[in-house]
Amino acid sequence: MATMTEVGFWAGHFILVSSLLLGAYRLRPRLGLSAVIAVVVALQFFQAVLSASYYWEFADGLMATPGSAILFVSNLALLLYAFARDGIATARVILYAIIIGNVVTQLFGGFIAVHIAYSEPANFLAIPPEIFHQGLLTAVVGVCVLYVDQVLALLGFSWLRQRLPMLPVAIPMTFVLVVVLAVDTVLFLSITHWGHEQLGAMITSGVISKSLGGVAFGLVWGMYLQGRRLDQTDDLQQVLRFLFFQDDIDKLREVASRDPLTGLLNRRTFDRLGEHLFDENNRAVSLILCDVDNFKQVNDTLGHAAGDRILEDIADFIAESVREMDFSFRLGGDEFAVVLPRCDAGRAREVYDRLSEFHYQQEGLEQPVTISMGLATFPEDGADLGDLYEQADARLYDAKG
């Protein structure tokens, strides 16, 4: 039976892994997803080693390992966290990072096991070769089931959030984690250990331990998400289109031209964007036009170099205020634009309010530098990007007074 000391160690595993993953995610505005992917891939090794070696008894006849109950569960929790926080485009990066990390671990581990089998290396730590690779069937089934787990988790989470939008995000997150982890355990162990005399006990231990991990990650991470800006839920068709790289938006990103000063997309790309956004797959598209207030005084008083720095600051502020899947532009001079795919007027107003918080004041400036904006949404304000631009421009003019 688990003692209080053991409970403390398990809680410590949970806190450490959560801190590493969520901490890396917090660095995303500065480092992109590189820090997140680095942590995910590093943890894959420990997951594989622990799942093949150390288990602790947590109840009579029931065993668990942090590799499955903590590290494996954290993969799915991070996937749902990214999906809820920043949408399917970000979640897709996490999904394939987890899959690639798992494949690399299995491939290299298998090669090491073969090397050991056909040679006589010195084994100073007496590590059994099975710890590196448990067989081809286990490796292939593990990767395939993991991929199915992640797709099911995204689809189930999206479906629940659409059907029950009033629920706190922790509830669908926990429910999906528990159900998918149970399916994973039964499916994986039934295939890889069919006929084993302890198969029933193994499934019971796995389902209970992973379910406890799913409840912990779902409730704690879900409550951590609550009150933060969450991405608008995509329908199941949109989720599948993104997962299998059938989205035109990402293809446009790959060839997009950028403004050399700010790094944002440029006017030419803005004009081309309308060809890809307005079709039957988009329920809503919003456009925010931004114009910098009192910018002329910066160039006149502080010089053009200072003006360039402020434009760069504004571009960074815009990029940090929108989702990964959104498009940020510098249209020219001190005019900016943000295009928000799959974003209705209510969600776009949240972005509008965040952007309105920009404020720059320095000694020598008579008035602070701020941003005036105009907002328009498809289909209410027009049928294409040109219509939205006209409507947003008119509202921008009114905002500047």
Evaluate the CA torsion angle 27, 31, 37, 41 in order and state its sign: negative
Asked whether residue 165 falls in the same domain as residue 111, the answer is yes
Asked whether residue 186 falls in the same domain as residue 298, the answer is no
Give the residue numbers spanning the domain of 22.
Answer: 4-239
CATH number, domain with residue 220: 1.10.1760
Domains contained in the chain, number: 2
Asked whether residue 230 falls in the same domain as residue 316, the answer is no
Strands (E), 30-186: 56-59, 62-64
Residue where a domain terminates, one of 217, 239, 261: 239
Residue where a domain terminates, one of 205, 220, 239: 239
Q: How far apart are CA 192 and CA 181, in angstroms?
A: 16
Asked whether residue 276 falls in the same domain as residue 128, the answer is no
CB atoms within 10 A of CB 276: 15
Question: Stretch 264-272: mean pLDDT, rounded?
Answer: 85
Asked whether residue 228 falls in the same domain as residue 288, the answer is no
CATH number, domain with residue 366: 3.30.70.270
Q: How far apart are CA 25 and CA 36, in angstroms?
A: 6
From the number of C-beta atoms within 10 Å of its C-beta (0-12, 13-18, 19+), residue 343 rates as buried
> Can you read off the two tokens belonging to residue 21?
């993953």
* Phi, psi angle pair for 264, to nearest 5°: -75, 165
pLDDT tens by residue, 323-344 = 878 899 999 889 999 999 888 8
| Residue 401 DSSP one-character state | -
Asked whether residue 154 falls in the same domain as residue 300, the answer is no
> Contact, 351 vs 322, CB < 8 A?
yes
| Residue 130 DSSP one-character state | G
The active-site residue, picked from 149, 234, 334, 381, is 334
Asked whether residue 281 falls in the same domain as residue 204, the answer is no
Query: What percentage of the chain reaches a pLDDT higher than 90?
Result: 42
**Of residues 342 and 349, more confidently modeled:** 349
Residue 300 catalytic?
no
pLDDT tens by residue, 36-78 = 999 998 998 899 888 888 899 888 878 899 999 999 999 999 9
Residue keyed to tokens 């897709």: 92
Q: Is the model's pTM score more than 0.75?
A: no
Helix (H, G, I), strand (E, B) or coil at 328: strand
Question: Stretch 341-354: mean pLDDT, rounded?
Answer: 88
Q: Which residues contact 240 (CB under 8 A, 6 or more apart)?
A: 155
Residue where a domain terminates, one of 239, 269, 299: 239
pLDDT of residue 338: 94
Asked whether residue 231 falls in the same domain as residue 290, the answer is no
